[in-house]
Chains A and B, each alone.
Chain A
């Protein structure tokens, strides 16, 4: 299957700082990538859809100024958590599909801890 690589796998940051998470499709081009957040023992909640060369589409309730998404190329999308707070601590996972309505491939996830 296709490979999606996500970095870093773990990050600890101080409150008020920003953290950037990278998501790369290694063996295919992804015009669209998806960012999810998962709290312990909960489901994956879609945060936003990242579109190459255009603005991301955010789900209701997700602050676009806090979670900055950039999809500069067909193989790279980044999520920047700005002015992080302890309540932003979570597991962030990116995903991509090779074609619409097919299986999704996930990155390894990033566990963010804000102290």
Chain B
């Protein structure tokens, strides 16, 4: 399946700074999911977006689904060291789901 591109690939921020990762698809997505993978760990589900223009918040995390349902973003406000990890978006195709290229976040204390 076609891989969804994420930018940036890597991001280093000072603790307290904000962070945003973007997920872009060339085709319209039925839905998009976001996962976080800590170093050495397995992916953990964060959220699913379904509706065009949908915005969801989880404490310091804000997730957005584009109006055209071809892109999505994850924004973290005031990063903490616990936010370290790689963030993946994931698209669904039939019964399968495919991961984006990922953004690795490093938070400098």
Contacts and interface: CB of A to CB of B under 8 A. Distances in A.
Contact of A109 (B42, B88, B95, B96): B42
A5 to B, nearest CB: 11
Contacts of A103: 33, 45, 48
Contacts of A34: 96-97
Given A32-B95, A49-B96, A43 B88 contact: yes
Nearest to B10: A41
A59 B97 contact: no
Q: Is the interface of B mostly helix, strand, loop or mixed?
A: strand
B66 interface: no
Main secondary structure of the interface of A (DSSP, over half): loop
Contacts of A107: 42
Interface residues of A, number: 24
Nearest to B30: A101
A67 interface: no
Interface residues of B, number: 24
Interface stretch (B51-59, B73-81, B98-106): B98-106
Interface in B57-109: 88, 90, 92, 95-102, 104
B104 A41 contact: yes
B108 to A, nearest CB: 19
Interface string A1-20: 10000000000000000000
Contact of A101 (B31, B98, B102): B31
Contacts of A95: 43
Interface of A: 1, 32, 34, 36, 41-46, 49, 59, 93, 95, 100-109
Interface of B: 1, 3, 30-31, 33, 35, 41-45, 48, 88, 90, 92, 95-102, 104
Given A49-B96, A108-B41, 10 more contacts: A1-B45, A36-B99, A42-B102, A43-B101, A46-B99, A103-B48, A106-B42, A106-B43, A109-B41, A109-B42
Identify the 3 closest CB pairs spanning chains A and B, nearest first.
A103-B45, A106-B42, A44-B99
